[in-house]
Amino acid sequence: MSQYRTFTAADAVEYARQFGGIENPDSLISAQEIGDGNLNLVFKIFDHEGSSRVIIKQALPYVRCVGDSWPLTLERARIEAEVLQIHGEFCPDHTVKILHYDPVLAVMVMEDLSSHAIWRGELVKGNDYPQAAAQLGSYLAQTLFHTSDFYQHPHQKKADVIRFTNPELCDITEELFFNEPYEEHERNGYPRALEPLIATLRTDDELRRKVAGLKHRFLSNAEALLHGDVHSGSIFVATGSLKVIDAEFGFYGPIGFDVGSVLGNLLINYCALPGLLAPREAAAAREQRLNDVRTTWQSFAEGFLALAAEKTRDRALAYPGYAAAFLSKIWRDTLGYCGTELIRRTVGMSQVADIKTIGDEAMRIECVRQAVTLGRTLILAADNIDDVVALIARVRQNG
């Protein structure tokens, strides 16, 4: 790390001039730091006309929202850049383009997505992007299939599992998803009025065993190269377009984790909508969110099975019926990880705008209650929810 330095806005501009691929690099004159995440610096680089042209992202050697008391390796920047490059190879339409990566400075230069908006913000406002769910399902199918044993050569797959071992970032996931929400922990945060409900997460033996199984599979099942943190805040949308960003949590893990994280965030928004919109608008948006859940899963499942039928390279895995059986297993995992996402986003450290922006305290408490209850239900009942139609029925029963 001897040559590493933390970028200033001026550093970011100069770097963009060198590596941004801009036809007239001297036209780049200013930078705005826009990072609102927990880990990194992010600069938007502007030209002399005030147009944003390129993005500079630099990993910091600590957790930004905590400080240098929580150090992190800069290796995560290499993992993020390479995950996005690989995902971009198989799904260029829906993966942010990496223009340059510098391992010494832990800096990436990425395409500017100013023509897009962060999907979470649009969901909070009740804005609908009808094609987004199908596009996201396609992204999941393409990236997860092509980095799985169905497609990768076994030698390459084993080498890539090592290449993308990501212990520090995975440790964050392991704590925030599977440990802290089910313990009394200083990083947890939820309305005190819900303490009796939250306390049951710590004392329900069956729930704790199910969560332990989900964590064990997260630790052990290297099924595909995951994004590792794909949610509505790491997705940009525009009319007819969707782009996934922020893959620093990438590693080889269980496919259902990525799919479950996506569905979990859609269902968090579903639970939060009565506190975000007027009653009629909220009801309509809730129906759309359930449709998004259905479409995302169907697009992923159909895409994965079609790819398996056409492109599976392993002779045993190509045997008729195996891909469908494997997809059934992914579905069970998806439901469980969906449940842990609902709980960790409402009980744990990583709170989301869907809940945080609800102004009415009583309504916010009710929305959190619904999300926690739904998350618990999905974890416990995953083996008894046979398909996405049954999932939607369970969500409606939850309130």
Query: What does residue 295 show for φ and ψ, rounded to 5 degrees?
Result: -65, -40
Residue type, 252: Y
Instruction: Give the whole-angstrom CA distance, residue 102 versus residue 42.
Output: 15
| pLDDT, tens digit, 9 for 90 and up, residues 29-41 | 999 998 765 678 9
Query: What fold characterizes domain 117-398?
Result: Aminoglycoside 3'-phosphotransferase; Chain: A, domain 2 (3.90.1200)
| pLDDT, tens digit, 9 for 90 and up, residues 10-25 | 999 999 999 999 989 9
Span 335-364, average pLDDT = 96
CATH for 9-111 (3.40.30.10, 3.90.25.10, 3.30.360.10, 3.30.200.20) = 3.30.200.20
- Its pTM stands at 0.95
**Under DSSP, is residue 198 helix (H, G, I), strand (E, B) or coil?**
helix
Domain residue limits, the chain: 9-111, 117-398
Quick one: pLDDT at residue 38?
66
Span 245-254, average pLDDT = 97
Quick one: pLDDT at residue 72?
84
Span 64-92, average pLDDT = 88
pLDDT at position 332 over 60: yes
Quick one: pLDDT at residue 222?
98
Instruction: Give the whole-angstrom CA distance, residue 234 versus residue 2.
Output: 31
Quick one: pLDDT at residue 84?
98
Band (pLDDT 50/70/90 cuts) for residue 69 is: low
Q: Token digits for 60? A: 């910091």
Pairing of strands 28-33, 40-47: antiparallel
DSSP 47-100: ETTS-EEEEEEEE-SEETTTEEEEE--THHHHHHHHHHHHHHHH-GGGBPPEEE
Band (pLDDT 50/70/90 cuts) for residue 1 is: very low
| pLDDT, tens digit, 9 for 90 and up, residues 90-134 | 999 999 999 999 999 999 999 999 999 999 999 999 999 999 999
Instruction: Give the whole-angstrom CA distance, residue 120 versus residue 244.
Output: 12
Instruction: Give the whole-angstrom CA distance, residue 74 versus residue 69.
Output: 15
Band (pLDDT 50/70/90 cuts) for residue 399 is: confident
Quick one: pLDDT at residue 37?
59
Instruction: Give the whole-angstrom CA distance, residue 341 versus residue 301.
Output: 20
Quick one: pLDDT at residue 266?
98
Span 44-51, average pLDDT = 92
